[in-house]
Amino acid sequence: MNTSTPPGDDRTATADSTARTFEQLTGRAPDGVWSAPGRVNLIGEHTDYNLGFVFPCAINLRTWAAVGLRSDGIVRVTTGLSGTDGTGNSPEGPATIPAAEVPRAQLTAATASGWSAYPLGVLWALSERGADLTTLPGVDIHLESTVPVGAGLSSSAAIECATAVAINELWGLGLSRPELAAVGQRAENVAVGAPTGIMDQSASLLGVADHGVFLDCRSLDATLIPLGLAAAGLELLVIDTTVSHSHATGGYASRRAACEQACLTLGVPSLRDLGPDDLPRAEAALDQETFRRVRHVITENQRVLDTVQTVRERGAAAIGPLLDASHRSMRDDYEISVPELDLAVEASRAAGALGARMTGGGFGGAAIALVPGTRTGQVTREVRAAFRAAGFATPTIFPVTASAGAARDR
């Protein structure tokens, strides 16, 4: 198959090598190695912070955390997190801090201060939920990852969730998976400064192999929906445009602010409280741009419900038109696509994908294409050719599988 897969897609081997690196760095074996996956969102974009519906799945690219307790109250985090360029992992310097100072450091860093904001932010968020960082033992954490950074596949949620499940178990905190998802989200919102919703951490913690996670972001009820992709001869291709994005800046926050402003104008607690019947009232009350933002959220919620019903009743091969409609709505109404994402969607559809859409927060990152396995090579070749013809950087294209959520690996 003519696709390129990010390096290190072997779960046991990477857990072992992360443990070995931990041992080289600390002189002792870790107490355990935990891992958490990135995600693709099948459908339901920018609906999570509007308390609507999302339907992501965890993927077979993960972050590993090798963790060992210390007796001196120090937290020391090291990483070999990989970039998007496929050059592999190179260890970076440690972040070392007395555990008792984590809350202050995280709240004053104000922040987006690099990779250490994610694991340290998780420790801070755990302290909000009862972990007493002044009395708990210190900890060494070493992180490795195969989730490409900046590709919109939730590399940050994977770090947060791997750290959270490890510390939750080692420190005996007894928090549930939904509580750990909230911890990861809080770390992202406060320590990293990205005003994101609950979707990515929920997918990373609740995912199950070959299932999508249908999440009601208001009640937090999660239902696992069998996808049956392999059985139907389908592949889920990721087309990473390599256009890097960040949710701590600009467009993401302004979309969220527009939704909040619309709620005030329309007198509803959240856009979740509006359905298709409310569109005329919204159009009358809002300026054109804000109305289009609201229309995206309302119609996208409905598309999530339709997608889940379609998968259940007719199988995943039938969801293509819903994926296409979702992309159009993000391109035209929410205006979070970029030319590279639009081209990835158009070229993959023209080459035989059943449906395609950008995935994640937008402004760069990746698209997904649902492809009959027999067409994978053709779609890959034609998307690459279209990018070449447009003068865009070569995209990284690889299949992903719906995979298990965060777990202890050794």
CA 53 to each of CA 297, 321, 337: distance values in angstroms, whole numbers, following the listed order = 10, 18, 20
Q: Assess 360 for contact with ligand GAF (CB under 6 A).
A: yes
Q: Does 49 bind ligand GAF (CB under 6 A)?
A: yes
Residue 110 backbone zone (phi > 0: left; psi -120 to 50: alpha; other: beta): left
Q: Is 200 a catalytic residue?
A: yes
- The Cα 117–Cα 199 span in angstroms is 19
Which phi and psi (to 5°) does residue 373 adopt? Answer: -50, -30
Residue nearer to ligand GAF on the CB measure, 136 or 164: 164
> What are the residues facing 408 on neighbouring strands?
34
Q: Is 307 in the site for ligand GAF (CB under 6 A)?
A: no
DSSP string, 50-75: GT-EEEEEEEEEEEEEEEEE-SSSEE
Strand partners, 369: 237, 356
Which residue's CB is nearer to ligand GAF, number 3 or number 189?
Answer: 189
- Smallest distance, Å, CB 32 to ligand GAF? 27
Q: Is 199 in the site for ligand GAF (CB under 6 A)?
A: yes
**Beta carbon nearer to ligand GAF, 76 or 357:** 357
Residue length, the chain? 410
By C-beta, is 211 or 256 nearer to ligand GAF? Answer: 256
Q: Which of 48, 140, 200, 333 is catalytic?
A: 200
Q: Please, which residues bridge with residue 368 across strands?
A: 238, 357
Q: How far is the CB of 280 from ligand GAF (least distance, A)?
A: 26
CB of 56 vs ligand GAF, minimal distance in Å: 9
Q: Which amino acid is at 205?
A: L
Interacting positions 177-196 with ligand GAF (CB under 6 A):
196
Smallest separation, CB 188 to ligand GAF (Å): 7
Q: Does 247 bind ligand GAF (CB under 6 A)?
A: yes
Interaction site with ligand GAF (CB under 6 A) = 41, 45-46, 48-49, 196-197, 199-200, 247, 360-361
